[in-house]
Amino acid sequence: MYRVVYRKSAAKALTRMPKPLAIKFQMAFKKMATDPETEGLDIKPLSGRGGYRLRIGQYRAIYHIEGNGMVIDVLKIGPRGDIYK
């Protein structure tokens, strides 16, 4: 089982987004913590840099999976236009 760690900016974004959407992100990461190969989530590897993105509606989350420490490190969460900058 993996442990989910939210960076300060990701945690702050979760508090500012609509509550139902924040709950969906938290549930998706909880689901990934039990099984990183989870089906049914819109996850793609990032091109040009390491990491992955999770898409829920118009929002995206950027994260890394650290295999040695069994940690999912959530870097950023935000609207599609701003997240990749």
Helices (H), the chain: 8-16, 19-34, 80-83
DSSP reduced 3-state for 68:
coil
The whole-number pLDDT of residue 67 equals: 75
Task: Give the residue-averaged pLDDT of 6-25.
Answer: 95
The whole-number pLDDT of residue 44 equals: 93
Domains of the chain and any CATH numbers: 3-83 (3.30.2310.20)
pLDDT at 69 over 80: no
The whole-number pLDDT of residue 24 equals: 95
pLDDT at 85 over 80: no
Task: Give the residue-averaged pLDDT of 57-67.
Answer: 91
pLDDT at 16 over 80: yes
